Amino acid sequence: MLADFERIDFDIGKIESWPFVTALKVGSLDLSKISLVVENTNHLDTEIKKFASSQKTSDNLMKRRNGITKHLTKVLTNKFRGSTVTTFGSFESGLSLINGDIDLCLQFNGEKPKKVLKKIARMLNEDGMDNVTLITTAKVPIVKFIDSQSKIPVDISINNSLAVHNTELLRRYSALDSRVKPFIISIKYWARNRGISDAAMGTFSSYAWTLIAINYLQSLEQEVLPNLLKKDDSDTVDIDGTNYDIGMFLDEELHFTTLNKSNIGELVSGFFEVLAKDWPWNNGVISVGSGKILTRKEKNWVATKPYVSDAIQDPEIKRLGKFALPVEDPFDNKHDLSRVLDVEGVFEIRDEVIRAYQLISKNTNWSIITEIKYPEITPNKPKLDLFEDLRNQNDDKTKHDLKILYEQLKQVEKSVLVRESERNDAIKMSKALRRNAELAKEQSGLSSELRPRRSKIDELQSKRDSSNNHYIPVHFIEEELSRVYSILTTENTNRVELSLEKEKQMFSWFFELQSMYEHSKLARKYHREFLKLLEQQQHSIEHIKDIRQEMIEIQSFGKFTDFDDLAMKLLKELNPLKRERRNLRREIGRLEAWLRKQTHFNNNKHSRNKGKRKKSVDNVKVNAVKSKVVSGDSFSLQDLEVLLKNGGLSSVNKTKATHRKGKNKHKKNNHSVTPQRGKRGKSSKNQ
């Protein structure tokens, strides 16, 4: 009757947080002495049926969920071009609770899933969604959040195609027998309310509980559910390079009729009895894909160290070994859904199973059995009536609250403005100071050119000088060349006869002059290059001096990194302020909408009772009130009444926006995540 880990001797002090397991260990609770009697489960059947019908999705909830899904689909497919959004999970399989989440899968191959999820998380945060959490360590990374208005939780995963297929499997199971749906949601409800249905907290996921419940119905002596999987590779899908066999029998191929006549109360009681007295994981693996519990040996999933019994004794052991309470994923049958469990989770699950069984045996009501254990982690019911809290509140109190909210909004807007302008200044300063880094780079570039240029100058100088030292200037050589040339080439009649000796000398002198001319030309070239480089060198030195001067001046303002840090600090302060501003605007919009509704209702009542009501509104008064709001002057309840009758705070913003329109057109933000639900949604976007 005991779970394997309960048979090991360990210090009782270590398990005192789990009273039922402790009672089993110390022998004050003996499961063999507990049994179920029909009288005790009959009432449960009625109660669970009632509970199940209370979980039906109302039209209102359906509208809300569809609205959120439609809006998110639009926003996500706009942001990630070429992507598609698919819904899956319990809402699609028909196994949802009214506080169940919306499961969305974004099919997108443009970027890495984690990067995409980070972008989505940022978008959701900016839009003021509640509890935005990125879980990237899970097998399938997801971003979780709660829709701030309806409080409906949403999970978004990327390319989670297999989940779409296993959702279909669950949908098929839930449609096979009318008892399946109430049975499964009862187990899910119990697990959720008792705090043992959260993979992130080391307990089974809701999906794992669904499989455990289905497997129970498959492994009864008279089974309620058959095995739907064909496992013949006739229908496979390739996901990320792995082939999965997703073939399912059609209803007409099944030839299955159950002989089991148990009612839901009996099925639920039986479920807890089996889990309590015949802990399936002592030697079994929950395998919906096989339609039964497989032995650990058959599946080759024998538990590995550290075992549950080791981990509970030794606080140093943080992770359990593999296959602690194995649950096979039907399509991905290498995946054990119990790998998320931690040792406390296992004890918590076991303790709750025994508790539920004991309570059922004692004829306890379903509401007590499923009493919420940890209110702080149990999802709230969706908030479908936006005015619930205002209905029983005096309107004067609502008006008073609204006035306080206007005041708070004014303060927050002021703080936002101040920080925004400080941040812009810091960014400007940082940009200006970054010039120093550019200057330093330029300076080092120039300095690195100085030395090689200096060597080149020296080299040219010495070449030029060596030529100049031995040869006469070019112009002289040119003149001499021309003179000698003319002596040598003029007709005999016009010149003095040259002796042969003299002519030889002249020729030799002429050739020497030619050679001198070549050298002198070279020296002139060296000299020009020398001058050019010298000029460059001087120019660079001057430039370096200027740069140094500018750097010294800029440095006196501080480092650009200081201003970057300041800008970052201000941004960090701005984000929560903007969130607060968004929430205040939303709340103001909600209260205004309620009061407008009330005013409209009262006016109609008046017009019925007192005949024709004065229709024209005193425009002067309206404008005066609006200008009070803009200027931040205090105003009376009567003023508030006038404002509400004439469009509320959003109408003031609109007036301001129209003034600006010509100069500064509003850019449409396509990535806003808030669903545009009527005027209120629109006004909240108008930040």
Q: 176-205 mask for ligand UTP (x: CB under 6 A)?
A: ------------x----------------x
| Min CB(673)–ligand UTP separation in Å | 20
| Min CB(198)–ligand UTP separation in Å | 9
List residues bridging with 327 in a β-sheet.
286
C-alpha span between 116 and 124 (Å, rounded): 12
| Min CB(135)–Mg ion separation in Å | 14
C-alpha span between 320 and 306 (Å, rounded): 5
Looking at residues 200 to 219 of the shown chain, list those that interact with ligand UTP (rule: CB under 6 A).
205-207, 210
For residue 306, cis peptide bond before it (omega within 30 degrees of 0): yes
Q: 139-158 mask for ligand UTP (x: CB under 6 A)?
A: ----------------x---
The values of phi and psi at residue 495, to 5°, are: -140, 165
Q: Should residue 90 be labelled a site residue for Mg ion when binding is judged by CB under 5 A? A: yes
Q: Which is nearer to ligand UTP, 89 or 265 (CB)?
A: 89
Number of amino acids touching Mg ion (CB under 5 A) = 4
Exposure string (b/e) for 178-188, b if CB count within 10 Å is 16 or more? ebbbbbbbbbb
Residues 463, 526: contact at Cβ < 8 Å? Answer: yes
| Min CB(46)–Mg ion separation in Å | 28
Please give the single-letter amino acid code of residue 107.
Answer: Q
Q: Which does 163 bind (CB under 5 to 8 A by kind): Mg ion, ligand UTP, none?
A: ligand UTP
Q: Should residue 245 be labelled a site residue for Mg ion when binding is judged by CB under 5 A? A: no
Q: Which does 167 bind (CB under 5 to 8 A by kind): Mg ion, ligand UTP, none?
A: ligand UTP
| Min CB(127)–Mg ion separation in Å | 22
C-alpha span between 450 and 454 (Å, rounded): 6
DSSP letter, residue 12: G
Tell me the C-alpha to C-alpha distance, in Å, between residue 498 and each of 151, 327, 333, 513.
122, 125, 119, 19
Q: Should residue 89 be labelled a site residue for Mg ion when binding is judged by CB under 5 A? A: yes
| Min CB(246)–ligand UTP separation in Å | 12
Q: Which does 207 bind (CB under 5 to 8 A by kind): ligand UTP, Mg ion, none?
A: ligand UTP
Q: Should residue 337 be labelled a site residue for ligand UTP when binding is judged by CB under 6 A? A: yes
Residues in the chain: 687
| Min CB(97)–ligand UTP separation in Å | 6
Query: From the list 6, 45, 103, 639, which residue makes contact with ligand UTP (rule: CB under 6 A)?
Result: 103
Q: Should residue 101 be labelled a site residue for ligand UTP when binding is judged by CB under 6 A? A: yes
Nearest alpha-carbon partner for 246 in 161, 184, 326, 183:
161
The window from 162-170, 237-245, 247-255, 268-276 that contacts ligand UTP (CB under 6 A) reads 162-170
Looking at residues 102 to 121 of the shown chain, list those that interact with Mg ion (rule: CB under 5 A).
103
Q: Is the alpha carbon torsion for 172, 175, 178, 182 positive or negative?
A: positive
Please give the single-letter amino acid code of residue 185.
Answer: I
Q: Should residue 157 be labelled a site residue for Mg ion when binding is judged by CB under 5 A? A: no
Query: From the list 100, 195, 265, 284, which residue makes contact with ligand UTP (rule: CB under 6 A)?
Result: 100
589: left (phi over 0), alpha (psi -120 to 50) or beta: alpha
Query: From the list 55, 69, 90, 150, which residue makes contact with ligand UTP (rule: CB under 6 A)?
Result: 90
Number of amino acids touching ligand UTP (CB under 6 A) = 18
What stretches of 80-160 show up as alpha helix (H) in DSSP? Answer: 90-93, 113-126
C-alpha span between 142 and 158 (Å, rounded): 7
The window from 96-104, 343-351, 552-560, 639-647 that contacts ligand UTP (CB under 6 A) reads 96-104
579: Cβ contacts below 8 Å, ≥ 6 apart: 125, 128
Q: Which is nearer to ligand UTP, 103 or 351 (CB)?
A: 103
C-alpha span between 497 and 409 (Å, rounded): 117
Exposure string (b/e) for 395-431, b if CB count within 10 Å is 16 or more? beebbeebbebbeebeebbeebeebeebbeebbebbe
Q: How many helices (H) and strands (E) does the chain have?
A: 23, 10
Which spans of this chain sit near ligand UTP (rule: CB under 6 A)?
88-90, 96-97, 100-101, 103, 155, 163, 166-167, 188, 205-207, 210, 337
Which spans of this chain sit near Mg ion (rule: CB under 5 A)?
89-90, 101, 103
